[in-house]
A and B are shown apart, each in its own frame.
Chain A
């Protein structure tokens, strides 16, 4: 019974336990004694700027860790309703029914302005494409199936569009980016409005599903002849082509800081008290038609005093210093009027 390998195995198990234990305790060494972790989840639309913000904020306040997971706006709404996260994030504002489900009132705080862009991967086509509202609706409804369709050719007479199938890519998860996109489509296409509707998760007529903005960008990047919608920064960071969209004034506009800010200018003056507003298909000849605010969802009553202070302090910082970091990541700053309103609204978080 004194089998060979007995001593050896005991030593191995001992070393395994030592490794496991030291690995687990290593991270207690890495932490300061009183680390406060605040957990948030939601939109992937603003994830690049949020992860930058929370990283910078942690450097300024090493005892506070704000852990944000980008699982999609649908997830942000659901988890903040369930109370399993301390705050949520969404680019599709909560509906009245969703707000009614909340046990504590949920407040919306806009953070940045961003844009959904139609990004595509067509081998051989390097020019910027122009997309009409009819083209976008038709493609996503499954009625326009080839890149060489007349609707697309009309808007892009100088581009050699191939006679290939358009591979549509959309979100597989509950998404505010989707909300913004379909909100726009519903405004420009009555057929979309009745057939599919507006929500963070819809019954897509066609297309592949990618998880998060990251997943959609990944799929479009790897799939030739594909078309998807992502937040502007994802297309920029990954050097992906994205097109211009015709706005309500008839001009083909590319998404950038100026055009997104222009889209928000009208709303800024008429911002409702709860900050829930849609700025898709905004008026104005310079406005980019698929722009949106994005919001942090904060419960109006936070029982843990440390977390409440951390969240309120962060929001203050976000409205001031934080705004200085957004343009580097292609997000537009909040209009001055909105910032002023939010600073007053902070008092509602108790």
Chain B
């Protein structure tokens, strides 16, 4: 009976290696300088690259971080250090709610509050959609790692005469910093792969994006568009793009794990 469960486990792991292997096999061949630096060519013409999509994704992530990290981090500090029982409960519950919002619904939200009033698809709208998605992830990990800091450290700081906020900023937060940063990195990796919220916010762009108020190409949206198309050349580029995206996401996750070893219950 146990062998059956072992098979299950290895099937699960096998899927991961299949995904990686297949992407490498189909995509590695198309990874050249042109892929990383060039713009897409007109429909039906062979060649071109994902240059603007990669840069676009970087911009979107920078924007998302600018929103998600401050709100998430400071919100987490509130929950762990300053919050009272009821307000804390309400914030925590709302954060969980926000976490459960399907990504496509987040796209509707960003469209309604940014694209419509601005009368423009924009990188800004896409960045905000992704940023809002980052908030619950960041809050959760910040709070978790702050709570994990031993009470003795806090009390020691207070005993030395520090006020609460000084204790928190100079002792508790630095102690939890590694974990918090890993949480942030995982959050960025998570939204880096999101496609649905970008479909009607950042839209897409065949040129280099010129301003935050203009649409931009992004890696996940390009992969999607190219994958469902009939052009063989586009399929090749989709594989390459998929490989790049997956590599970035996996590297972020691996780094996070090795920098901060995972702790689990009951070992």
Contacts and interface: CB of A to CB of B under 8 A. Distances in A.
Whether chain A touches chain B in the assembled complex (some CB pair under 8 Å) = yes
B42 A69 contact: no
Contacts of A85: 121
B81 to A, nearest CB: 18
Contacts of A323: none
Interface in A76-127: 82-85
Interface residues of A, number: 51
Interface string B13-55: 0000000000000000000000000000111110000001011
A65 B209 CA distance: 10
A1 B156 CA distance: 14
B210 A65 contact: yes
B208 A30 contact: yes
A4 B181 CA distance: 15
Interface in A147-194: none
B206 A37 contact: no
Interface of A is mostly: helix
Given A13-B181, A39-B214, A67-B215, A214 B207 contact: no
Interface stretch (B93-101, B158-166, B223-231): B223-231
B175 interface: yes
B21 to A, nearest CB: 22
A238 to B, nearest CB: 5
Given A13-B181, A214-B228, A52 B42 contact: yes
A20 B42 CA distance: 28
A39 B41 CA distance: 18
Contacts of A233: 44
Contacts of A47: 43
A308 B152 CA distance: 67
Interface stretch (B58-66, B70-78, B82-90): B58-66
B208 A218 contact: no
A237 interface: yes
A5 B182 CA distance: 12
A85 B174 CA distance: 47
B206 A5 contact: no
Contact of B259 (A9, A30, A52): A9
A262 B183 CA distance: 64
Interface in A34-52: 35, 37, 39, 41, 47-48, 51-52
Contact of B44 (A13, A48, A68, A69): A48
A218 B230 contact: yes
Interface stretch (B1-9, B112-120, B136-144): B112-120
B231 A238 contact: yes
Contact of A31 (B210, B229, B259): B210
A6 interface: yes
B255 interface: yes
B238 to A, nearest CB: 11
B58 A20 contact: yes
Contacts of A5: 178, 259
B211 interface: yes
Contact of B121 (A48, A54, A84, A218): A84
Contact of A237 (B44, B120, B203): B44
A211 interface: yes
Contacts of B55: 23-24, 26-27
B175 A54 contact: no
Nearest to A218: B230
B237 interface: no
B204 interface: yes
Contacts of B119: 82-84
Nearest to A221: B230
27 contacts: A1-B174, A6-B178, A12-B259, A19-B58, A20-B58, A21-B62, A23-B59, A24-B58, A27-B52, A27-B209, A30-B208, A31-B210, A39-B120, A39-B215, A41-B203, A67-B214, A69-B204, A82-B116, A84-B115, A84-B120, A211-B228, A214-B225, A214-B230, A214-B231, A218-B228, A234-B230, A329-B44
Interface of B: 41-45, 52, 54-55, 58-59, 61-62, 115-116, 119-121, 174-175, 178, 181, 203-211, 214-215, 225, 228-231, 255, 259
